[in-house]
């Protein structure tokens, strides 16, 4: 039995980041400046701290200016908004990212809306969401955009294919569906109220799992020869696993992303790519 080709997001991310590093060095030599990213971390969430440190390290390696603003757990919304506004006006910073989730007392929506759209490298501002849905170029959410890069790297064209996304969050599921639709796939979005889920997922030529349930997608969810993208990251007994039962699904799929080493590394690569795009728009 032929097992699936593993789509190596780690290797692709390294390639993307190396390309960005070369571009940044070129811009610095031509213009005397390069891109800058400001990342806000509010509170002491350990997972968020790991992500922020990884983003900072990636920025520094690629030659970006990197600023990490750490604020205490009890920071009021207005204080965070004032800090964001400071970097909206800073012309050495081209990308602003507020690490989510924020502490419960902070108005998350208000903070996202406060980031200048042209610096919204997470792609969450309604202006950028509107550009994405209307087919315009803009700054798109990093994880879904990274998934599209993976498909492109493995010459998988969504056009005319049936793509099914399990998950409808504003951060991953919905933008993933939007980008697949833009790529001319017939796209179905499944969520907690979807009935007969397996009947739908078994129709998928491209199946994307983004629901946050460890190893939920099993072989009987998957059509023979489907392309499977696993966005989930779950810790089970100290081990990282995705939303897809990798061992059994990889025997049925034609292509599959692993966890770890699949979609995850692409998220930071796209963050850097978005920051460079935001910088290029100022030249």
How many other β-carbons are positioned within 10 Å of the β-carbon of residue 195?
7
The answer on whether 168 is annotated among ligand-binding residues is yes
The answer on whether 250 is annotated among ligand-binding residues is no
The answer on whether 231 is annotated among ligand-binding residues is no
Quote the tokens at residue 105. 């007392």
The answer on whether 261 is annotated among ligand-binding residues is no
Tell me, rounded to whole angstroms, the distance of Cα 222 from its chain centroid: 23
Quote the tokens at residue 122. 């997470």
> Do residues 23 and 271 touch, judged by C-beta distance below 8 A?
no
195 is an active site residue: no
The catalytic residue among 99, 120, 205, 243 is 99
The sign of the dihedral angle between the CA atoms of 105, 118, 277, 169 is positive
28 is an active site residue: no
The answer on whether 169 is annotated among ligand-binding residues is yes
Nearest one of 185, 256, 267, 183 to 225, comparing CA atoms: 256
| E strand map for 50-149 | 65-71, 95-98
Instruction: Report how far residue 46's alpha carbon sits from residue 184's, in angstroms, rounded to the nearest whole number.
Output: 39
122 is an active site residue: yes
The sign of the dihedral angle between the CA atoms of 57, 151, 193, 123 is positive
The catalytic residue among 23, 65, 120, 122 is 122
Annotated binding site for NADP(+): 167-169, 192, 233
Active site residues: 55, 99, 122
Annotated binding site: 167-169, 192, 233
């Amino acid at each position: 039995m032929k097992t699936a080709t593993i789509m190596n997001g780690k290797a692709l991310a390294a390639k993307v980041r190396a390309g960005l590093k070369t571009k940044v060095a070129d811009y610095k030599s031509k213009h005397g400046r390069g891109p800058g990213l400001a990342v806000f971390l509010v509170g002491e969430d350990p997972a968020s701290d790991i992500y922020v440190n990884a983003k900072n390290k990636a920025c520094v390696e690629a030659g970006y200016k990197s600023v990490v603003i750490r604020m205490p757990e009890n920071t009021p919304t207005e204080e965070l908004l004032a800090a964001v506004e400071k970097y909206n006006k800073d012309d050495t910073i081209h990308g602003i990212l507020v690490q989510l989730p924020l502490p419960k007392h902070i108005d998350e929506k208000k903070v996202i809306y406060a980031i200048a759209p042209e610096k919204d490298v997470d792609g969450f501002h309604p202006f950028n969401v509107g550009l994405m849905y209307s087919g315009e170029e803009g700054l798109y959410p990093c994880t879904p955009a990274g998934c599209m890069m993976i498909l492109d790297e493995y010459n998988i064209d969504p056009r005319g294919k049936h793509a099914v996304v399990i998950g409808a969050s504003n951060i991953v599921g919905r933008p993933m569906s939007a980008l697949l639709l833009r790529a001319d796939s017939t796209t179905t979005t499944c969520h907690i109220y979807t009935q007969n889920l397996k009947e739908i997922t078994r129709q998928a030529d491209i199946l994307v799992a983004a629901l946050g349930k460890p190893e939920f997608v099993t072989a009987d969810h998957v059509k023979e020869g489907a392309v499977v993208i696993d966005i989930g990251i779950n810790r089970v007994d100290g081990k990282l696993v995705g939303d897809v039962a990798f061992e059994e699904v990889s025997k049925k799929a034609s292509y599959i992303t692993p966890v770890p080493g699949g979609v995850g590394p692409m998220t930071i690569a796209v963050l850097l790519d978005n920051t460079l795009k935001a910088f290029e728009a100022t030249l």
